[in-house]
Amino acid sequence: MLANTDLARLVMPLAIGLLIGLERGWQQRDARPGSRVAGLRTFGLFGLIGGLAGFVAGMAGGQGIGGGSDGGWAVSAVLLLAGCALVIIGYRRDSSPSATTEAAALVTLGLGWLAGHSQPVPALALAVVTAFLLSQRARLHAWIDGLNEADFHAVVLFAVIAGALWPVLPDRAMGPMNAWNPRELWLVVVVVCAIGFAGYVLGRQLGPKRGVLAMAAVGAIYSSTAVTASLAQRIKSETEARPRLAAGIAIASLVMFVRTGLLVGVLVPFAFIGFARVVAPAALLALLLAWLLARRAAVAPAGKAPTGNPIALLPALGFAVLVALVQLVVTWMQQRYGGSGVAVTLALAGAMDVDAAIVALRGIPSGGIAPQLAGAILALPVLLNTLLKAGVTLAMAGRAGWHGAWPLLAAAAAMLAGFGLAGFGGAAPTLLP
């Protein structure tokens, strides 16, 4: 008698085939009767053939890929070869130069086998991705038609940066005081390049005005520092774009204030009031400045859509070097002062990653430290991160960087005022080691 898991291993391949077949049938719905190689029903059968092959291989012995008796694997191989033969016959009958349907049929066989061989969830996930990819034919073709040579080289370069180099780098502590993890440092380069590339794509799709602002708001959900670095490297050369680049930096800063407030409220709720008393003035000022700068960008000349190579590798490498230096200082602080320098250490670490600093303090016992003091300690990384972003903007753009740096400096000044209003104006020495 079949168990529930066995039934899922038989039903899931059929569902996978029907899903991919539904997409293929929709794409070929205008074809004359009898001219299609495979449709909804045939793809369902392809999935079932693959599922039966995987089920037989699994039931004959062990469930692993190398398990099972020779007989079970022989039956599995025969079923798969029969399915492949049907695909080849259909391809020879097909008068269309495209082999997409036949390739989809082979993928359906493979995913059916994977689902039948006790991996139904990954197989279904891959089937959904396959159906989505097949359904995007018109959009993908339009995207390729719109590519120029610079776009193509940018895509290839980013593939090398993110897909070839990052996965093979060592994922362990190295260097002085074991302060550096090569894979984590290269991830900084990947993120900065990805944000720059996303801004380039959005600028091409939404126009130069809305593209920058959309990228800043979305990218800052992950890292406002990386967004600032990506936009700052454009301020010096893109004179007409300075209003919207400055607006993008202000919007990224605003998103950071909101995001960190939510994190503190969820992870360290007892410190939220103290944190809000320090950060709220800066958040309100950032909201006002982001609105004003966005309005100024809206009436400024739109300029041209972004062109050239959107992967600015050298500025991204420079930003990664800065991250490495901060990590080295943080490690030295931890080894030199230990727990007594927790506020300064977290402030330095939070200069690069505010979220990590807040998460690091999520275990603070509510009775172990005064709520107002806890809020002030959590606000220190936010303040230092804001100052760091202003410094990065000026370092990357020179004098032109003031267009993007002054809203950050104004927000930092508002935070210092928040410290004073919260009663911590003279408490800084008590937070030092």
The DSSP line for 190-215 is: HHHHHHHHHHHHHHHHH-HHHHHHHH
Q: Report d(CA 279, CA 375) in Å as an integer.
A: 9
* pTM > 0.75: yes or no: no
The 3-state DSSP composition of the chain as helix, strand, coil percent (nearest 5) reads 80, 0, 20
Going by C-alpha positions, the residue among 9, 19, 65, 28 that lies closest to residue 46 is 19
Torsion of CA 197, 202, 205, 209, to 10 degrees: -130
Q: Report d(CA 64, CA 67) in Å as an integer.
A: 5
Asked whether 71 and 60 are in contact (CB, 8 A), the reply is yes
Q: Report d(CA 188, CA 319) in Å as an integer.
A: 8
Tokens of 430: 């008590």
Going by C-alpha positions, the residue among 133, 132, 127, 90 that lies closest to residue 107 is 127
Asked whether 154 and 309 are in contact (CB, 8 A), the reply is yes
Domain spans of the chain, in order of start: 4-142, 148-431
Please give the chain's pLDDT, 433 residues, in tens. 455 566 667 788 888 888 888 888 787 776 666 556 667 788 888 888 888 888 887 765 554 444 445 556 777 777 778 777 777 776 556 556 567 777 888 888 888 888 888 788 888 888 888 888 888 877 777 767 666 666 677 777 778 888 778 888 888 888 788 778 888 888 877 876 776 676 666 666 666 567 777 777 777 776 787 788 878 888 877 777 788 888 888 888 888 888 888 878 877 788 788 888 888 889 999 899 888 888 887 766 555 555 555 566 666 677 677 667 766 776 776 677 655 555 566 666 655 566 666 655 555 555 556 777 777 777 888 888 888 889 888 888 888 888 888 989 999 999 888 887 766 554 443 444 4
Q: Report d(CA 285, CA 254) in Å as an integer.
A: 9
CA distances 425 to 302, 415, 422, Å, are: 44, 11, 8
pLDDT at 413: 92
3-state SS, residue 36? coil
Which residues, listed in sequence order, are joined to residue 174 by a DSSP beta bridge? 180
pLDDT at 64: 43
pLDDT at 66: 43
Task: Count Cβ atoms within 10 A of the Cβ of residue 67 and give its class: 0-12 exposed, 13-18 middle, 19 or more buried.
Answer: middle
8-state DSSP, 174: B
pLDDT at 284: 92
pLDDT at 426: 46
Tokens of 236: 């010096």
pLDDT at 65: 41
Torsion of CA 417, 422, 423, 429, to 10 degrees: -70
Asked whether 205 and 143 are in contact (CB, 8 A), the reply is no
